[in-house]
Amino acid sequence: MEIKKIFVAGAGLMGGGIAQVCAQAGYDVTMRDLTEEILEKSLKAIHWSVGKLVEKGRVKGATDEIMGRIKTSTDLSGAADADFVFEAIIENLEAKREIFKELDRICQQPTILATNSSAIPVTEIAEATQRVPKVTGTHFFSPVPMMKAVEIVKGLGTAEQTIEIADKLCRSLGKETIRVNRDVAGIVLNRINFPSTIEAIKLVEAGVTTVEDIDRGMRLGFGRPMGPFETADMTGLEVGFNAMMVVYRETRDEKFHPPMLLQRKVKLGHLGRKTGIGWYKYDENGKKLGPAD
């Protein structure tokens, strides 16, 4: 199966990043979200990111040429002629099932549907469609243009051919793939990462150390480009919280239960850069000002 046209459902941090790497790799992309305002904001961010990568010689081609491959839509009907669909909406099972049901109705029969879910099992999403063998998981990491890993997840009913096509496509985007053969909540890398993030929050909660020192320590001691609190602010605290809860509900293992401090921040709406405050404070341009109180 040859992939030429790609549809991305969701124009947030992840959806915009996926659309960007697809366009950089030469694919025609339609990116969809609920409003023109969201789409315009995403295009602006993509244009800036592509420009920087072109300037540094990391991406071939001109910025305008790459941007010309991305179309936008507020309607799912744009997926009708897509060969492959990436879903990158909120981490909510019912919302994902609803959009997959609609995509299943709109898309041609050969079209593969892939969820970028970081925690929800593929099988539970695929059940909303009539094409279970053609539904898979393609879990990208943020920021998508920079992070190389993609987890390719096989649901209980996913066909091997679907996995192979998804794997080949993601590698054509310049990614390195990790095969996940058993469909579990949290997939692989988040199942490893969540307990360390939760422990970091607990250490701050107990007054053992600070958000800044943990982030600095993880960068210096483990070579991570960003610490756990910086990463959480970039992706959104509610995203991590919801993903942790998905894993906790399936496993009932306390090591995955979100700490109280994280719960309080989410309830207060302290979600990171997008709200101007999370683990750190930010100005209106998203520049870090310092740790949150």
Where in the chain are the domains? Answer: 5-180, 189-282
**Residues designated as active site:** 118, 139, 151, 190
* Residues 139 and 167: beta-carbon distance below 8 Å: no
Where does residue 276 rank: exposed (0-12), middle (13-18), buried (19+ CB within 10 A)? Answer: middle
| Confidence (pTM) | 0.93
In whole angstroms, give the CA distance from residue 200 to residue 281: 19
Question: Is residue 248 within a helix (H) or strand (E), and if so which, with residue range?
Answer: helix 237-251
In whole angstroms, give the CA distance from residue 50 to residue 80: 27
| Contacting residues for 6 by C-beta, under 8 A, at least 6 apart | 19, 22, 27, 28, 29, 30, 82, 83, 84, 85, 86
> Among candidates 156, 162, 151, which has minimal Cα distance to 85?
162
Alpha helices, H only, 173-236 = 189-205, 211-222, 228-235
In whole angstroms, give the CA distance from residue 102 to residue 89: 14
* Residues 292 and 242: beta-carbon distance below 8 Å: no
Which CATH fold would you assign to the domain 189-282? N-(1-d-carboxylethyl)-l-norvaline Dehydrogenase; domain 2 (1.10.1040)
pLDDT in tens, the chain (293 residues): 799 999 999 999 999 999 999 999 999 999 999 999 999 999 999 999 999 999 999 999 999 999 999 999 999 999 999 999 999 999 999 999 999 999 999 999 999 999 999 999 999 999 999 999 999 999 999 999 999 999 999 999 999 999 999 999 999 999 999 999 999 999 999 999 999 999 999 999 999 999 999 999 999 999 999 999 999 999 999 999 999 999 999 999 999 999 999 999 999 999 999 999 999 999 998 899 999 98
In whole angstroms, give the CA distance from residue 118 to residue 15: 13
Per residue in 100-109, is it b (16+ CB within 10 Å) or e — as a string?
A: bebbbebbee
Which CATH fold would you assign to the domain 5-180? Rossmann fold (3.40.50)
In whole angstroms, give the CA distance from residue 149 to residue 126: 23
